[in-house]
Amino acid sequence: MGEPADRAAELCDAALAGDRRALARLLTAVENRTVAAEAALRRLYPLAGRAHLVGITGPPGAGKSTLVAALIAELRTVGRSVAVIAVDPSSPITGGALLGDRVRMQSYAGDHDVFIRSMAARGHAGGLASTSGAAAAVLDAAGFDLIFLETVGTGQSEVEVAAAADTTVVLEAPEMGDEVQAIKAGLLEVADLVVVNKGDRPGAQRTAAQLRAMLVASVPRNDAHHHPRPKRPEVLVTTASTGEGVPELLTALDRHRAAGRDGSAEAARLARAEHQVWAIVSDRLRDRLHDPGRRAVTEATLHEVAEHRLDPYAAADRLLGSLGWRD
Amino acid sequence: MATRPIKVLIAKPGLDGHDRGAKVLARGLRDEGFEVVYTGLRQSPEMIATAALQEDVDVVGLSILSGAHMTLLPKICRLLREQGLDDVLVTAGGIIPDDDIPALKEAGIAAVFGPGTTIAEVADFLRANVRSRD
Ligand SMILES: Nc1nc2c(ncn2[C@@H]2O[C@H](COP(=O)(O)OP(=O)(O)O)[C@@H](O)[C@H]2O)c(=O)[nH]1
Ligand SMILES: [Mg+2]
């Protein structure tokens, strides 16, 4: 056990001292869920929590990568450091992936304060890789001021990004038709900011106006006293390809972060912690139940459920019981 | 995990504006099960070296048509080495005269794939020659 831990400590020290190659290798270890990665995350987690994590989601082609590039340019003019995790889908059949977001974010070679990393989703649904959150924690510990998480962009509800980020930006391109349809209600629900990109295209302002109207209408009125106030996201218009509207977007991101400091972000952070910890608990339970000593019992139990000879609840009780767990 | 995909950077150094070959290769390698980072046209050697470092790739595949291969390819190899990426497999494809190949190999290019090379041949070469890592 000493070896991976030693290696992790070495990589962590180097990455924290600003060695970008060590940082890149740590991220690989995290993606591959190595033993060294777990040791590294244990060490780095207490150092994370300072960066502003910003999720960028929305349909393919809306301009997510171009907008991230424009935000990087804006951040660099004011001397803030920035990292990007850009996720693209993996083929369920071959496991291969084509990671193309970097094409739009190329101009920062030699800038130590910009770090861009592509990630394949590796079978994980929800717009991110299962290790994207851990990768963000590593970049956070390494001291980046802002970290962008660009989702796969399936156009489906990629709500998972909201759990991974402090601020979630839902990006949309102008609608050609009369009505805004492309944004699923579920996606709007998680938006802290809604951005209509391609502001140079006809219909951008009209799309933004429709979204504003829709968002006001969707706020429930009757139970405002008993439930946390639903988000009422600001709607902005940008032209990522020219940078128009990008300074205003950055201001809105900063404002959202500052507002979150006095309370509302706490719930989001707690939800993120819960999500992370439960994922590990369930992984560990599964591993235990597949120990060489228990595997036979576990598999026999699953077969009994498959054949309807045992109900799933009784099966769960039996398996937990086999681990010594009693209620 | 032993089964994790091999990660490849496909980059196009030089000033020519054709990236069809590079895109075909990128898609083909994806279909062969590789994780392929594609970076687009007109990459400077510095951009390529930075991308290779940040992405922690196992392979850098350079596609070049511009005729500047004798200056660009050795420079990229040198930048990779200077950043400590000496265990990354570097290959080149495109239009490269046979006479130039020995000097390129000397400079650190592991293989030069001519126009007739199939994707499967490239994939097999990469699988057989990629560094083994923890
Ligand atoms: N006209 C216009 N095109 C844009 C704008 N932003 C991005 N694009 C283009 O939209 C296409 C998709 O952009 P990309 O950033 O890759 O979108 P993603 O799939 O959401 O990451 C590219 O061809 C961009 O050049 C914009 O503000 N205006
Ligand atoms: Mg993109």
- Neighbouring-strand partners of residue B11: B62
Q: Out of A20, A31, A106, whose CB is closest to B40?
A: A106
Q: Is the confidence at residue A155, as pLDDT, over 90?
A: no
| Cα A159 to averaged position of ligand 1 atoms, centre (Å) | 22
The pair of structure tokens assigned to A84 is 């990007």
The pair of structure tokens assigned to A192 is 């802290």
Q: Whose CA is nearest to atom 24 of ligand 1?
A: A63
- What is the number of structural domains in chain A? 3
| Cα A244 to averaged position of ligand 1 atoms, centre (Å) | 13
Q: pLDDT at position A259, please? A: 86
A275 or A311: whose pLDDT is higher?
A311
* Chain segment A233-244, per-residue pLDDT in tens: 899 999 999 999
Q: pLDDT at position A160, please? A: 80
* Chain segment A101-135, per-residue pLDDT in tens: 999 997 788 899 999 999 998 988 778 888 899 99
User: Do B130 and B57 touch, CB atoms closer than 8 A?
Assistant: no
3-state SS of B58-79 is CEEEEEECCCCHHHHHHHHHHH
Q: Is the confidence at residue A287, as pLDDT, over 80?
A: yes
Show the ligand 1 pocket: residues with CB < 6 angstroms. Answer: A 60-66, 101, 104, 153, 197-198, 200-201, 239-241
A6 or B92: whose pLDDT is higher?
B92
Torsion angle in degrees (nearest 10) through CA of A264, A270, A276, A277: 180
Q: Is B26 within a domain?
A: yes
Between chains, do A117 and B55 touch, taking CB under 8 Å as contact? yes
Same domain for A53 and A42: no
Q: Between β-strands B35-38 and A167-172, what pairing exists: parallel, antiparallel or unpaired?
A: unpaired
Average pLDDT along chain A:
87
A271 or A50: whose pLDDT is higher?
A50
Q: Is the confidence at residue B60, as pLDDT, over 90?
A: yes
Same domain for A223 and A303: no
Q: Is A268 within a domain?
A: no
Same domain for A236 and A99: yes
pLDDT (mean) for A85-96: 93
Which ligand does the CA of A64 lie closest to?
1
Q: Is B134 within a domain?
A: no
Q: How many CB pairs under 8 A join A and B?
A: 89
Query: Which 8-state DSSP code applies to residue A110?
Result: T
Taking only Cα atoms into account, the Rg of chain A, rounded to an integer number of angstroms, comes to 22
Q: Is the confidence at residue A315, as pLDDT, over 70?
A: yes
Can you say how many angstroms the Cα of residue A224 is from the centroid of all Cα atoms in its chain? 29
Same domain for A310 and A181: no
The CATH number of residue B79's host domain is 3.40.50.280
User: Do B89 and A140 touch, CB atoms closer than 8 A?
Assistant: no
Same domain for A227 and A195: yes
Same domain for A35 and A72: no
Same domain for A142 and A3: no
Q: Is the confidence at residue B101, as pLDDT, over 50?
A: yes
A183-187, A205-209, B55-59, B76-80: range with lowest mean pLDDT: A183-187
Q: Is the confidence at residue B86, as pLDDT, over 70?
A: yes
Query: Which 8-state DSSP code applies to residue A236?
Result: E
Listed residue (A217, A224, A244) closest to A67, CA to CA: A244
pLDDT (mean) for A244-272: 86
User: Do A213 and A256 touch, CB atoms closer than 8 A?
Assistant: no
Same domain for A297 and A218: no
Same domain for A237 and A93: yes
Q: pLDDT at position A272, please? A: 83
Q: pLDDT at position B2, please? A: 43
Q: Which amino acid is at B58?
A: D
| Cα A152 to averaged position of ligand 1 atoms, centre (Å) | 15
Q: Containing domain of residue B13, as a range?
A: 7-129
The pair of structure tokens assigned to A87 is 């996720």
- Cα distance between residue B47 and residue B72, in whole Å: 12
Q: Is B2 within a domain?
A: no
Between chains, do A109 and B46 touch, taking CB under 8 Å as contact? yes
Confidence of residue A98 (pLDDT cuts 50, 70, 90): very high
Between chains, do B37 and A120 touch, taking CB under 8 Å as contact? no
Same domain for A115 and A258: yes
- Cα distance between residue A232 and residue A214, in whole Å: 10
Q: Out of B7, B35, B46, whose CB is closest to A110?
A: B46
Q: Which residues of A260-285 are buried (b: 16+ CB within 10 A; e: fewer)?
A: beeeebeebeeebeeebeeeeeeeee
| Cα A191 to averaged position of ligand 2 atoms, centre (Å) | 18
ipTM for the assembly: 0.94
User: By a Cβ cutoff of 8 Å, what residues of chain B touch chain A?
Assistant: 1, 4-5, 7, 26-27, 29-40, 43-44, 46-47, 49-51, 53-56, 83-85, 134
Q: pLDDT at position A180, please? A: 60
Confidence of residue B6 (pLDDT cuts 50, 70, 90): very high
Same domain for A26 and A114: no
- Neighbouring-strand partners of residue A288: none
- What is the number of structural domains in chain B? 1
User: Do A26 and A117 touch, CB atoms closer than 8 A?
Assistant: no
Q: Out of A25, A96, A118, whose CB is closest to B30?
A: A96
Q: Which amino acid is at B40?
A: G
Q: Containing domain of residue A8, as a range?
A: 1-47
Same domain for A71 and A195: yes
Distance from CA of A114 to the nearest CA of B (A): 10
* Chain segment A188-241, per-residue pLDDT in tens: 778 899 999 999 999 899 989 988 888 876 655 444 444 444 567 899 999 999
